[in-house]
Amino acid sequence: MKKIKLAAIVTLYNPTDQDISNIDTYINDIDKLYIIDNTEGKSNIDRIPVNKKIEYHFDNDNVGVATALNIGAKKAISDGFDYLLTMDQDTSFNSGTLKILKEDLENIDMSKIAILTPWHATKLKLSKPLKKYDLPDDVMTSANILNLKIWKELGGFKDWLFIDGIDIEYCLNVISHGYYILRNNSVCVEHNLGDLFYKKVGRRLFLCTNHSAIRRYYIMRNYHYIFDMYKDFNPEYCYSLISQRHNMIGVLLFERHKIKKLKMYLKGLKDYKNGIKGKYMEE
């Protein structure tokens, strides 16, 4: 059985002490960690644990999540790795979880598997599958193991998406090219989706994510671009992706800063129609 070497990347952005300490939950189970620090103004190098496995990068610029992931993937390939673990700063592993995923890498034919992922435990009302393994249509970016050969073939993540929709687009790209996402439901990670809650009005249940206004901008703009790219491949999924009216009702009824979020929602639609991509620039 071939011994798998595993690299990882984590993107930092104004990390808390807890975010930094999450690194300790997986550093011993990987061979290299690339830290891409998107914090603007001050390096966090003094807060990073001293470990010869860690390679820290800080350019005093927020290049976005997609570009940070691509930087990590390119560095991993250059350093001879075939697989890359992608981590959000607020995600941590329980003891033994990552070891199980590494055993999957060693024992499963990964030639057609683009992403190996655990079950993500979140506040979303999702039922965990009974089967040990399944093939989901999409997964969140954090705690996934990427097959770097397939990542390279597909051209990586779309840098111009910047933040939101990166995981959705990549998963659609994977499946549309005949590859698969393999999820091991016997292991899970706790994934923080922020201040998420549900509100019920009559028979209707509203999901309130409390995303910031700028996140509302990226969600609405980027989801429409993704719709254009993949609507012929998976129309049902893509139409549900851009059907944000129900979600915006929840924003207007129950969330904070609702007027600002509505304005950024409309700005995202306007910029999509004008073909604007990349990092949002204040007018």
Higher-pLDDT residue of 211 and 41 is: 41
Give the residue-averaged pLDDT of 124-137.
86
The answer regarding whether domain 6-190 maps to CATH 3.90.550.10 reads yes
Judged against a pLDDT cut of 80, whether residue 176 lies above it is answered with: yes
Contact at 8 Å (CB) between 33 and 12?
Answer: no
Stated pTM of the model:
0.92
Q: Where in the chain are the domains? A: 6-190, 197-273
pLDDT tens digits for 63-109? 999 999 999 999 999 999 999 999 999 999 988 899 999 999 999 99
Q: Write the single-letter amino acid at 152.
A: K
Q: Alpha-carbon distance 166 to 163, whole Å?
A: 6
Average confidence score pLDDT of the chain:
90
pLDDT classification of 251: cutoffs 50, 70, 90: confident
3-state secondary structure 14-25: CCCHHHHHHHHH
pLDDT classification of 212: cutoffs 50, 70, 90: confident
